[in-house]
Structure 1
Amino acid sequence: MRAPFAHLPALGCALLLSAAPPTSRAGPCVDLALVLAVDGSGSITDAEFAFQQDAIAAALRAPDVRRAMHEAGVVALGAVFWGDGEFPVQAIGWHVVLRGAGGEALASRIENTPRLVFGNTDIGNGLWSALDMLAEPAMCAVRSVVNVSGDGIETIAPKRRRVVSLPAARERAMTMGVTVNALTVSNDVPGLASYYAGSVIAGRGAFVMDVRNNDDFAAAIKRKLIREILPQSVASLGDGAR
């Protein structure tokens, strides 16, 4: 299904999204709304955080990812960097990519965002914040996806102020009809991919991709974006061919 405004330039799409009345969802829908929810907790060093930023930006610029976005139609992309749930996430608002054109602005924002998140591994906080973006009144999408990346399990600790739990965030995703996929870096936590498969991902066609070290993250995030962005019929054909 193609968005009703697929003939408009990317800037026009962005204006349509931002200018929609707060009480109405009747406006045009994008083909895909995708939020990258990136781990910025204390287990991620500053060097690893910067590496993640560069890898995601490079993936958004990659020709095969741009081809996938062209195939998808009109794609709205956003990002949140999450960490301790007692502090705000770093959110990068919606950027609309029309037929593969317009992703450079988001790539530049991601690679140049200074780090302001640290602390506990509150995956639920990151997922909930991504869902808040998808629930914005101006957002309407045929498909909604959250791409969660992380290197640890949810922090469970006593004597903390109230934070959003991972089960609550996952339940909200399922209620909203959002697909939650994951990319795990499991060099320090054996079985992390299984944990994410059982406790994080949700929705139709949800999947986990696992890498054992940060050196493999760049290639994996590119493959993951292609799989998420392509229309489901095309992605299925690609999986069968492999």
Structure 2
Amino acid sequence: MGLCAMPAAAQDTKEVDLALVLAVDVSGSIDPDEAELQRQGYVRAFTDPLIKKAILGGYSGRIAVAYFEWSDAWRQQLLVDWTLLDSEAAIEAFADRLAKAPITILTRTSISGAIRYAVPLFERNPYSAERKVLDISGDGANNDGGLVTQARDDALTQKITINGLPIMNGRPNKYGFPPDPDLDRYYEGCVIGGPRSFLVVANSFQNFDDAVRKKLMQEIAGITPNGRTRASDVPERRLGVTGERQVAQALEGSMPAPGKRPYELGCDIGERRSREFWQRRFQQ
């Protein structure tokens, strides 16, 4: 008996070095100017020569990316579906699509909703990837939908690593709701998870560009914040010595999450603060 031929779909599946979903917060605490800064941060990152080198310098020389914006538990908008980045032209086209997409500001903050929306995205990813990464950026704790820890743990069972980019927005939102002073610790203890998960902190929307670039470099190039190539990645890198040095320099300031320390205030802090805030408002 001869060997059975593989189905055409299986034969045509391309392997990629990384399947990356970018989930970006557009809740009511973010004003239109800040939303534009976020969007342009990603556009500029993907047109950065070093990011391009990292994307094209992996074992397969390509990654797959999808990009959506989120707010309330049931409000997510997919701006760019799964896109293969396998050339400079493809990377430039992806950045151009992001730049031209309209920006919509919505209301509440549901990190759990964003995670639950992302899981089916990975399930229908047309490319084969050992590394599946969901990257969440935002300026507040979860205050809508289910508990963020439950959504996170469900995603981890699907072998999805969750990284974070908390934005330390030091002003109240338009409703007067105060900012989260320890959002980085909240993200570390309640949001990120999975093998090699980490977070990079943006100290303001003004330095969002730099934070996005560091985060993407670490995710794509597989290099730790101290500039050392991970041992498991050494045979797969094609950047060369000069490229590795450039990537290491770009990663200075990114923040790993050793031990994923528990968040002392509880991962439902966003829900509790929201209830207390609105109760006070209604009693006035």
Shorter-chain TM-score tier: 0.7 to 0.9
Select 2:142's aligned residue among 154, 157, 177: 154
Q: Which runs of 5+ in 1 are unaligned?
A: 1-19, 157-162
Shift of 1:232: 5.4
In 2, Cα distance between equivalents of 1:182 and 1:225 = 11
Q: 1:177 to 1:193 in 2, by over 3 A?
A: same
Q: Does structure 1 residue 145 correspond to structure 2 residue 133?
A: yes
SS in 1 for 2:131: strand
> Please, what TM-score do these two structures have when normalized by structure 2?
0.69
Residues 163-218 of structure 1 show CA distances to partners (whole Å, capped at 9, x for unaligned) of 45422321122111111111111133211000000111011111111122111111
SS in 1 for 2:200: strand
Is the CA contact (8 Å cut-off) linking 1:84 and 1:117 kept in structure 2? no
Is the CA contact (8 Å cut-off) linking 1:125 and 1:165 kept in structure 2? no
Q: Tell me the residue number matched to 2:44.
A: 58
Q: Does structure 1 residue 106 correspond to structure 2 residue 97?
A: no
In 2, Cα distance between equivalents of 1:149 and 1:108 = 20
More strand by share: 1
Shift of 1:117: 4.7
Q: Tell me the residue number matched to 2:116.
A: 128
Greater shift after overlay, 228-237 or 89-98? 228-237
Q: Does structure 1 residue 208 correspond to structure 2 residue 194?
A: no
SS in 1 for 2:126: coil
SS in 1 for 2:18: strand
Is the CA contact (8 Å cut-off) linking 1:209 and 1:224 kept in structure 2? yes
**Rg bigger for which structure?**
2
Residues 47-68 of structure 1 show CA distances to partners (whole Å, capped at 9, x for unaligned) of 1111111111000000010011
Select 1:92's aligned residue among 80, 94, 107: 80
Q: Tell me the residue number matched to 2:175.
A: none
Q: 1:91 to 1:181 in 2, by over 3 A?
A: same
In 2, Cα distance between equivalents of 1:70 and 1:100 = 8
In 1, Cα distance between equivalents of 2:125 and 2:209 = 33
Shift of 1:99: 5.2
In 2, Cα distance between equivalents of 1:61 and 1:88 = 25
Residues 5-26 of structure 1 show CA distances to partners (whole Å, capped at 9, x for unaligned) of xxxxxxxxxxxxxxx85xx698
How many residues matched?
215
In 1, Cα distance between equivalents of 2:197 and 2:88 = 24
Q: Which runs of 5+ in 2 are unaligned?
A: 1-7, 171-179, 230-243, 253-284
In 1, Cα distance between equivalents of 2:12 and 2:157 = 20
Is the CA contact (8 Å cut-off) linking 1:95 and 1:103 kept in structure 2? no
Give the AA of the match of 1:179. Answer: T
SS in 1 for 2:216: helix
SS in 2 for 1:211: coil
> Please, what TM-score do these two structures have when normalized by structure 1?
0.80
In 2, Cα distance between equivalents of 1:181 and 1:168 = 16
Q: Tell me the residue number matched to 2:159.
A: 177
Percent identity between the aligned chains? 30
Give the AA of the match of 1:217. Answer: F
In 2, Cα distance between equivalents of 1:233 and 1:26 = 33
Is the CA contact (8 Å cut-off) linking 1:40 and 1:117 kept in structure 2? yes
Residues 30-80 of structure 1 show CA distances to partners (whole Å, capped at 9, x for unaligned) of 221111110111111111111111111000000010011011222001101
Residues 120-146 of structure 1 show CA distances to partners (whole Å, capped at 9, x for unaligned) of 100111122222211116342121111
Q: 1:123 to 1:148 in 2, by over 3 A?
A: same
SS in 1 for 2:34: helix
Q: 1:63 to 1:194 in 2, by over 3 A?
A: same
In 1, Cα distance between equivalents of 2:125 and 2:134 = 18
In 2, Cα distance between equivalents of 1:179 and 1:224 = 14
